[in-house]
Copies of this chain bind each other. A is one copy, B any other.
């Protein structure tokens, strides 16, 4: 049945596109959570231009690569990156197996509920916590841990599942781009194996189009069965200058559209827009303290400072969440 219903969808789409011209019809109905303001207009103009076969800015479907940051761009990142909250939860779960943590920072502070104290050493603390909680198991075991956590844990303030803390307008944008022949990729500073177990269901982005930070893994035989074991060693940090590098190594084409929310995405937006032909860069700016959070130039999480200056200087699209989005989260639609 699935193939047949897909087939009818296919016929329908073909007929629609022959009769009306697909891109206009799609655009009008694809971004219902976006207010009719400049950001929405800029998106639709860009997509219409690159899909218009008779226009000067037409781009072959194979080259329609769009890259999205995740934290703060597709889902929320406050009061802390969700993956850090995952790691903190894992420290609690694993503590009984690690009696030495009682006297060892950053774990000792953490286990006493003193998150600030645990983070006293900054990135060093974060790396120690990540390695202690993300390595040492097989990739299959880690996937099961992530799936379980994401299915059962709630966000500390909203009390909703993390997968409901995604931005409805961005889900619509992902779908609109795909309906317009784009291939959508995630390029995140977050862990690649923290995102892949749910990215396809939530974002429609399959694992092979999820790029992120990673730790090393090692192939070995256990009882005659091959496994991949996660090692406590950084493989790649996919942030700032790392993002164009990862895009190059893993996609091998320069994107024509890039979406981010912080200075960590700046190099990705620079790299994207420096290519020839039509290009699109968009920053999501967190301006809505009531429905979401308001932060930018001075935030330690998701700081948007240099990026905002460059966006203004280069005319990139900046989304004002408060002004541009009718709803923030999917549940508001219901």
Q: Which residues of A contact B (CB under 8 A)?
A: 1-4, 7, 10-11, 14, 17-18, 53, 62, 65, 139, 183, 192-193, 196, 200, 206-210, 214, 217-220, 225-226, 228, 235, 241-242, 244-245, 248-253, 267, 270-271, 274
- Across the interface, A53 reaches (CB within 8 A) one of B3, B139, B250, namely B3
Complex interface: chain B residues within 8 A of A219 (CB): 241-242, 244-245, 267, 271
Known A53-B2, A226-B274; judge A208-B14 contact (CB<8 A): no
How many angstroms from the CA of A121 to the CA of B219 in the assembled complex?
Answer: 28
Q: Let me know if B18 and A252 touch, CB within 8 A.
A: no
Q: Let me know if A252 and B208 touch, CB within 8 A.
A: yes
How many angstroms from the CA of A214 to the CA of B251 in the assembled complex?
Answer: 13
7 other A-B residue contacts (CB within 8 Å) besides A7-B14, A226-B267, A228-B244: A2-B53, A11-B11, A11-B14, A208-B250, A208-B251, A225-B274, A226-B274
Closest Cβ–Cβ distance, residue A48 to chain B (whole Å): 14
Known A219-B267, A274-B225; judge A207-B244 contact (CB<8 A): no
Q: Which of A18, A65, A218, A228 has the most CB of B within 10 A?
A: A228
Complex interface: chain B residues within 8 A of A248 (CB): 139, 217, 228
- Across the interface, A14 reaches (CB within 8 A) one of B10, B65, B196, B210, namely B10
Q: Which of A10, A18, A241, A252 has the most CB of B within 10 A?
A: A252
- Chain B residue with the shortest CB-CB distance to A196: B252
Q: Let me know if B53 and A252 touch, CB within 8 A.
A: no
How many angstroms from the CA of A193 to the CA of B249 in the assembled complex?
Answer: 9
5 A-B contacts, Cβ less than 8 Å apart? A139-B248, A219-B241, A219-B245, A226-B274, A228-B248
Q: Let me know if B18 and A7 touch, CB within 8 A.
A: yes
How many angstroms from the CA of A206 to the CA of B60 in the assembled complex?
Answer: 13
Q: Let me know if B207 and A251 touch, CB within 8 A.
A: yes
Complex interface: chain B residues within 8 A of A139 (CB): 248
Complex interface: chain B residues within 8 A of A200 (CB): 62
Complex interface: chain B residues within 8 A of A11 (CB): 10-11, 14
Closest Cβ–Cβ distance, residue A211 to chain B (whole Å): 9
Q: Let me know if B3 and A249 touch, CB within 8 A.
A: no
Closest Cβ–Cβ distance, residue A58 to chain B (whole Å): 10
How many angstroms from the CA of A235 to the CA of B14 in the assembled complex?
Answer: 44
How many angstroms from the CA of A183 to the CA of B208 in the assembled complex?
Answer: 10
- Chain B residue with the shortest CB-CB distance to A1: B53
Complex interface: chain B residues within 8 A of A208 (CB): 65, 183, 209, 250-253
How many angstroms from the CA of A142 to the CA of B252 in the assembled complex?
Answer: 13
Known A11-B14, A274-B225; judge A217-B267 contact (CB<8 A): no
Closest Cβ–Cβ distance, residue A6 to chain B (whole Å): 9
- Chain B residue with the shortest CB-CB distance to A14: B7
Q: Let me know if B196 and A271 touch, CB within 8 A.
A: no
Closest Cβ–Cβ distance, residue A253 to chain B (whole Å): 5
- Chain B residue with the shortest CB-CB distance to A62: B206
Complex interface: chain B residues within 8 A of A271 (CB): 219, 226
Closest Cβ–Cβ distance, residue A27 to chain B (whole Å): 16
